[in-house]
């Protein structure tokens, strides 16, 4: 019997994993829901696993060497920075992700954050509750049709977000060297350089993975190259934005407002964290992906991918497909 092990099921506390249990059972595949917090626990429960599911547990080459039966790793999300891709490729292990399961949810959340900042909804709510009934409080309000939205990265989420924004008449530009011009044209989005985007956009929204070249992509230097009074959104990965530089920008007014669903070093438990001194900031707890429908799709797609792999098929969501020559 083939064996599938979900390494850190405890990191998805609201899930009952019925999709994995039912679909894998139908194909005579053992399904183990582990709660591993150490490498020793991973080795103990998964050393004979044919396929591994992983949410946040870090997997590197040294750990893979102790899992000799592992043919594939399925990451429970779009990003896969917790897994060493090169180590997987060197050992012939397929790394899969879920590139589409929460596209609608993250794009909607990003749109909600943009509307919140542009209309100052949260800012007004805070001050109105405090007895400050002042329609002119804070930064200036502009119509969306008067603003330019700049998308750093133009993958699935950014593309859908661009469609949402264009409904409001917002001009949308984007920078992504890995996306063909035809895709930009299909969505009616102007492709420009990253430097030009920072200089032209009234709202900068980040939609890139966290890799060495994108770590602190939004930093003191890049913020300096943005328009005065820019708004910054990040629903991608926390370390892409240098929090110290962002806080400086918010306090100086260079950045008039920001919306973050992800933060470097999250979760933030310090009540005195510098972010909390920025009133023109909206923060949500890495929840942009979340919905009942997204959760169902997440677990269903993991189960379907595991079944495909263990049935001898090649699923389309293999991250290192090209490197493996598939």
Query: SS3 for 279-311, per residue?
Result: CCEEECCCCCCCCHHHHHHHHHHHHHHHHHHHC
Three-class DSSP category at 267: coil
Q: What's the CA gap between 326 and 323, in Å, rounded?
A: 8
215-221: long-range pairs with CB below 8 Å, 24+:
215/239, 215/240, 216/240, 216/241, 216/242, 216/245, 217/152, 217/241, 218/242, 218/245, 218/246, 219/245, 220/245, 220/248
Distance of CA 70 to the CA centre of its chain: 26
β-strands 148-152, 171-175 pairing: parallel
pLDDT value for 99:
94
pLDDT value for 85:
96
**pLDDT band at residue 259 under the 50/70/90 scheme:** very high
pLDDT value for 280:
96
pLDDT value for 320:
96
Q: What's the CA gap between 242 and 36, in Å, rounded?
A: 31
pLDDT value for 21:
96
pLDDT value for 73:
98
Residues 299-326: pLDDT tens digits?
A: 999 999 999 999 999 999 999 999 999 8
**pLDDT averaged over every residue in the chain:** 96
Q: Domains (ranges, CATH) in the chain?
A: 2-101+291-324 (3.40.50.720), 103-283 (3.40.50.720)
pLDDT value for 221:
97
The alpha-carbon radius of gyration of the chain (Å, integer) is 22
Active site residues: 237, 266, 286
Secondary structure (H, E, C), 174-225: EECCCCCHHHHHHHCCEECCHHHHHHHCCEEEECCCCCHHHCCCECHHHHHC
pLDDT value for 19:
97
Q: Mean pLDDT over residues 288-298, rounded? A: 96
CA-to-CA separations, 183 to 128, 145, 179, in angstroms, rounded: 44, 23, 7
pLDDT value for 31:
97
Q: Mean pLDDT over residues 19-26, rounded? A: 97
**pLDDT band at residue 227 under the 50/70/90 scheme:** very high
**pLDDT band at residue 214 under the 50/70/90 scheme:** very high
Q: Mean pLDDT over residues 93-117, rounded? A: 97
Do 152 and 217 meet the contact criterion of CB atoms below 8 Å apart? Answer: yes
Residues 31-89: pLDDT tens digits?
A: 999 999 999 999 999 999 999 999 999 999 999 999 999 999 999 999 899 999 999 99
pLDDT value for 190:
97
pLDDT value for 25:
97
Residues 155-199: pLDDT tens digits?
A: 999 999 999 999 999 999 999 999 999 999 999 999 999 999 999
């Amino acid at each position: 019997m083939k064996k599938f092990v979900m390494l850190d099921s405890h990191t998805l506390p609201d899930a009952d994993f019925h999709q994995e249990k039912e679909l894998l059972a139908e194909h005579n595949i053992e399904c183990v829901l582990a709660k591993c917090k150490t490498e020793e626990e991973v080795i103990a429960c998964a050393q004979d696993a044919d396929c591994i599911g992983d949410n946040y547990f870090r997997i590197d080459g040294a750990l893979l060497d102790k899992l000799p039966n592992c043919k594939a790793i399925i990451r429970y999300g779009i990003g896969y920075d917790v897994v060493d891709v090169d180590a997987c490729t060197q050992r012939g292990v397929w790394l899969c992700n879920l590139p589409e399961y929460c596209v609608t949810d993250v794009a909607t959340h990003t749109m909600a954050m943009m509307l919140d900042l542009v209309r100052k909804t949260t800012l007004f709510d805070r001050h109105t509750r405090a007895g400050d009934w002042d329609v002119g409080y804070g930064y200036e309000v502009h119509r969306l049709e008067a603003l330019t939205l700049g998308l750093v990265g133009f993958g699935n989420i950014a593309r859908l977000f661009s469609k949402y924004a264009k409904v409001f008449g917002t001009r949308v530009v984007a920078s992504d060297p890995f996306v063909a011009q035809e895709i930009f044209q299909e969505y009616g989005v102007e492709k420009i350089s990253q430097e030009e985007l920072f200089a032209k956009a009234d709202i900068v929204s980040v939609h890139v993975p966290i890799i060495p070249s994108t770590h602190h992509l939004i930093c003191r230097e890049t913020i300096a190259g943005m328009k005065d009074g820019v708004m910054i959104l990040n629903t991608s990965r926390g370390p892409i934005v240098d929090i110290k530089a962002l806080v400086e920008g918010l306090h100086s007014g260079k950045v008039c407002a920001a919306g973050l669903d992800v933060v470097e070093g999250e979760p933030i438990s310090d009540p005195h964290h510098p972010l909390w001194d920025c009133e023109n900031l909206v923060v949500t707890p890495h929840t942009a992906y979340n919905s009942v429908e997204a959760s169902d799709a997440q677990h269903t797609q993991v189960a379907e991918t595991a079944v495909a792999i263990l049935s001898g098929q090649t699923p389309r969501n293999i991250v290192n497909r090209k490197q493996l020559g598939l």
